[in-house]
Amino acid sequence: MPKTLLRLALASASLAAFLGTASAQQQVVQDHFQTSAGKPVRVGVFALLGPNCTPAELKIGMPAVPHHGTVTLQQGKVHGSAAAKCPNVDLKGYSATYKPSAGFSGTDEMTIEVRAPSGQTQQHKVTVQVAP
């Protein structure tokens, strides 16, 4: 049974999903965020949901880390209220928070990769604009 990988972009409060199909093994998503110097910003919330609203495990990694800050990946619960199909489901997921280095302003980039048990991958190319 195919799984659906959910990504909650808090900046737009929208839920994007992709199905684990053999024809599309990897999806690349461009994400853009803004923050001020020294101020953390959440750059993603990730959880995996099956077609019958059953939660499943996912793997998350950082193939490219930021050069001018740090990213904290924290495991916790994600509430599925933004998913119309599964309005009241709580999922085990991850949040990613970027914090710019002290005194840094400018553009920083990183890649967050999320993998489903089916092998389906979503790479998030994240750009953060840090204002002084």
Mind listing the pLDDT tens digit for each residue in 33-43? 999 999 999 99
Domains of the chain (ranges, CATH numbers): 27-130 (2.60.40.1510)
Q: What is the rounded CA–CA span in Å between residue 102 and residue 132?
A: 11
Instruction: Identify whether the C-beta of residue 41 lies closer than 8 Å to the C-beta of residue 100.
Output: no
**Per-residue pLDDT of the chain in tens (132 residues, 90 and over written 9):** 344 344 443 322 223 343 334 445 789 999 999 999 999 999 998 888 777 777 778 899 999 999 999 999 999 887 665 455 677 777 788 999 999 999 999 999 999 999 988 888 999 999 999 999
Q: What is the pLDDT of residues 60-87, one digit of tens each?
A: 999 999 999 999 999 988 766 545 567 7
* pLDDT on residue 92: 83
* pLDDT on residue 127: 98
pTM of the model: 0.76
Structure tokens at 38: 């020294």
Give Cβ neighbours of residue 42 (< 8 Å, ≥ 6 apart): 10, 95, 96, 97, 98
Q: Give the number of other CB atoms < 10 A from CB of residue 3.
A: 21
